[in-house]
Amino acid sequence: MAELRLQTAKSGSIAREEYELDTVQEAIQEEGLAWLDILRPDDEVRQFLLKRMEFDELAVEDVFGPADTTAQKFKNHRFIVINARDADNQLDTEPVAIFIKENLIITVGHYSIPALKKFRFRFKKADEEDLALGIDFLLYELLDSIADDWTPILNSYSRQLDQLEFQVFDPSKKYDDILESIHDLKRYLREAGKSIESLNTVTMRLLKPNERLIGSGAERYFSDLYQLSIALVKRANNYSLGATSARDSYLSNISMQLAESNAQLTEVMTTLTIIGAIMLPLTLIAGIFGMNSDGLPITQIGGFWGIIGLMLLFAATMLTFFWRRGWLKTYEE
């Protein structure tokens, strides 16, 4: 069953038991500007929007199915679809359908939206001068609440990005799950960007002079909102680029560390290879002349010391060979 909340400029929030869906229009008579919020709409809501409010059929169907960002003007009402942050999960954004007819704004959504709570408070605190601008001012306050909802979220993303960049460029410490954290942050920023770009698209459409979707008295408010949406889009994009840069730097650091480890391993293997190559002929000589055999030729040229001299000659020959091949340059440097 759908949840209904009704608020008016004159009486504030109206208790649910004081009205039914079909009697909303009667309940807001003499109440000035009014806002009806419908959460989790059902078939009764569909019939109310179609028959009682006489809204466009395609616009109503957008409420119950996939809907793209839009701002349209019909014969007896205006219709807007915009993305806003879902209260259940900061990562998700959900579409909110907005109908504007005479002095009534109707918001319809399938999920609780934190920005609507902010709008409820701002509507309650609006003074008579602001309310005198009519339903366009109420629409501005609603869209501005959605924009303001992203400001603290983007601030938290900025702090996360600063922390990740510190961890990436801190060579003295190692942190776990950096790559996963960067990936999550990029996903959050991508979802934020969807909502903010949706706001930017709607406000730009509302300001088109040939569309006449808002009155001239409210244009300055929507112009400010449009500039705010541009600034928020830039912030989200800059943070996303910063996250990408942090990821690339992290992967580059990992690659450099692997390269250094490989270089050290190569140096060790080279050392072991040289030692093994030097020891091989010495072992061969020791094995041959260590045999208990009389009459070996080496006994005629110095005996034991002749064997030692021959071993040193072999070692010097091998070192000279390695040096000329360039295999000892690592040690020379």
Q: Is residue 264 part of a domain?
A: no
Per-residue pLDDT of the chain (333 residues; tens, 9 = 90+): 789 999 998 888 888 888 888 888 888 888 889 999 999 999 999 999 999 999 999 999 999 988 889 999 998 999 999 999 887 665 678 899 999 999 999 999 998 899 999 999 999 988 888 888 899 999 999 999 999 988 888 898 889 888 888 877 775 556 667 778 888 888 888 888 888 899 999 999 999 888 778 888 889 999 999 999 999 999 988 988 888 888 777 777 777 777 777 778 878 888 888 888 778 777 766 766 665 545 556 555 556 666 667 778 887 888 888 888 877 765 555
Read off the pLDDT of residues 250-293 as tens digits, 9 standing for 90 and up.
777 777 777 777 778 878 888 888 888 778 777 766 766 665 54
- Dihedral sign, Cα of residue 273, residue 277, residue 282, residue 283: positive
Q: What is the chain's length?
A: 333
- What is the domain count for the chain? 2
Whether the CB-CB separation of 188 and 90 falls below 8 Å is answered with: yes
Dist. CA 150–CA 189, nearest whole Å:
11
CATH of the domain at 303: 1.20.58
DSSP string of 273-327? HHHHHHHHHHHHHHHHHTS--TT-GGGGGTHHHHHHHHHHHHHHHHHHHHHHHTT
Asked if residue 239 and residue 280 are part of one domain, the reply reads no
Domain enclosing residue 116, as ranges = 3-256
CATH of the domain at 22: 3.30.460.20
Strands 104-109 and 34-39, by their bridges, are: parallel
Same structural domain, 320 and 181: no
DSSP classification of residue 134: -
Eight-class DSSP state of 240: H
Q: Distance of alpha carbon 157 from its chain centroid, rounded?
A: 8
Say whether both 73 and 211 belong to one domain: yes
Residue 151 near residue 196, CB atoms below 8 Å: no
Q: Which residue has the tokens 């979802």?
A: 191
Neighbours of 87 (CB within 10 A): 15
- 65 and 151 in a common domain: yes
Do residues 158 and 71 both lie within one domain? yes
Q: Which residue has the tokens 């003295």?
A: 172
- Residue 324's CB: how many other CB atoms inside 10 A? 9
Beta bridge partners of 99: 79, 106
